Amino acid sequence: MKFEISNNSPLEIETNWLVVGIFEEAEFSESLQELDEKLEGSLSRVQERKDLTGKLGELTILADVPQLSAERVIVVGLGKHDKLTIGSLSKAYTTAFRHLATKENQSLVIMVPEGASSALGEGHSIERLVDVATVACSRQNIYSTEQDRYEFENVLLCGVSDFEVNQNALEKGLILGEAVNLTRELVNRHPDDLYPETFAQRAADEAADIHLQGEIFDQDMLEDEKMGALLAVSRGSDRPPRMVVLKYNGGGKNAPTIGLVGKGVTFDSGGLSLKTSAGMITMKSDMGGAATVLGAITAIAKLKLKVNVIGVMGLVENMTGGSAYKLGSVLTSRSGKTIEIHNTDAEGRLVLADALAYAVDQKVDKLIDLATLTGACVVALGEDIVGAFTNDQEWCDELKTASQKVNEEVWQLPMHDFFAEQLKSEFADCKNIGSRWGGATTAAKFLEQFVDDVPWVHLDIAGPSYAESSSAHRDSGGTGVMVRALVQLAADSC
């Protein structure tokens, strides 16, 4: 898909669609007045009939506009002007782009809303428009024989001032959109297509394209690394485990290193603590944390950010074969800490325990892990908010600030020491679950035991990483949540 910035009048450019934004309860801007005059008052008349209100996400189509070089006009409601945010801009234009992307071979001219740059910052509106257009055109039903979404042939953005700043924003928006789409695609692939070996190969292919350093740990190498917790989870499956480690050194030898660790359970049956059919149907998505790490580190590398990042992705299937790990089993993790198993469906934290310990051994300066870890976090925060847990408030605040900049919702949850009391075992150093109460925090307290004193944030993305249903501005399936936030955090750390 081709994006360009144009200084020509949008009213004089031949295109399939002229995309225009309008605010609620506001007078027409100068550019809208010019358009209305060109259309001999059509916009004003539609507005007078209350068919054009500017409410957020409202779409109004003018299909017959012979006065323009464009074939059709689509007017996008942006909501109230004083409420404009990156989030509202994204929702409005994603709704429009998703509608327009249902037809092949479409070209667009976008009149960038006046005041967007001053409200959101120079370049930010361009970056997000390109980002969401890239995501909106991607096909979520990748296995359907009938295609229902098409990339635009070309997109021109008109009405911007600083060309150099906005050109850079255009390029960044495309990279971010592609990274989100990579994560979404991986989450949506079915478990006979995406499993530890094929995920690892895809990661290797992505890394090779952008010259990322990397290594894939197979079964023997994982045994040499003494990853007893991760290996135990994989024992019930015929698919052997993998761990992918990718390194990006954009900050130089002496720059601090951020470790990104992702849970990659490519299918989770629950093991011997078997899930119900309803609980298992979306468990192809239980590798969302690893997919997010891969999407983020590829974007960071393509953007050439001056930061050092290590991405660690632990990849397993949790199945019920004859060698499956059992309730009552005691595992020895990479760190040497022993773990008594009270539930084989609390497997993601076991994978992360060894992956986090590995990252710590690589001398990272700060850590973030991402995992579709607990239903308890979804109960607490719903399906649209990421839960955050930390051992270092300053580092967590940096993550939350980055998330706010890109409109990804994160809410910090408590980490009081008394939650760890639930994890005490009579037969080992700890259990892998606590009681039924405070499950998201007890899971985080379990992970905390494997990060030493490294500043660390655990992100439970169980709710927002996978949408159960579609809406006007979002497909069901993988969402790519937190890819943008991690890239923003890396940029802020430069």
The catalytic residues are: 275, 349
* CA–CA gap between residue 391 and residue 381 (Å, rounded): 20
What are the Cα distances from residue 229, in Å, to 20, 238, 368? 54, 17, 19
Amino acid residing at 57: G
* CA–CA gap between residue 404 and residue 402 (Å, rounded): 5
The residue to which tokens 């009938």 are assigned: 146
* CA–CA gap between residue 249 and residue 234 (Å, rounded): 31
- Dihedral angle, C-alpha 390, 391, 395, 401, nearest 10 °: 30
**423 DSSP assignment:** G
Query: 374: Cβ–Cβ under 8 A, 6 or more apart, which residues?
Result: 439, 440, 443, 460, 462
Tally Cβ neighbours within 10 Å of residue 104: 10
Query: 208: Cβ–Cβ under 8 A, 6 or more apart, which residues?
Result: none
* CA–CA gap between residue 190 and residue 142 (Å, rounded): 10
Can you list the alpha helix ranges (DSSP code H) found in 115-217?
Answer: 116-120, 124-136, 163-188, 196-209
CB-neighbour burial class of residue 276 (10 A; exposed 0-12, middle 13-18, buried 19+): exposed
What is the per-residue DSSP string for 213-279? Answer: EEEEE-HHHHHHTT-HHHHHHHTTSSSPPEEEEEEEE-S-TTS-EEEEEEEEEEEE--TTSPPPHHH
Amino acid residing at 343: N
Closest CA to 90 of 180, 30, 3, 168: 180
Lateral strand order in the sheet of 257-268: 213-217, 242-249, 308-318, 257-268, 366-371, 456-460, 386-390, 410-412
Amino acid residing at 199: F
- In degrees, rounded to 5, the angle at the alpha carbon of residue 461 between the alpha carbons of residues 93 and 442 is 155
Closest CA to 138 of 110, 79, 179: 179
The residue to which tokens 């495309």 are assigned: 174
Query: 164: Cβ–Cβ under 8 A, 6 or more apart, which residues?
Result: none
Cβ atoms of 259 and 313 within 8 Å: the answer is: no
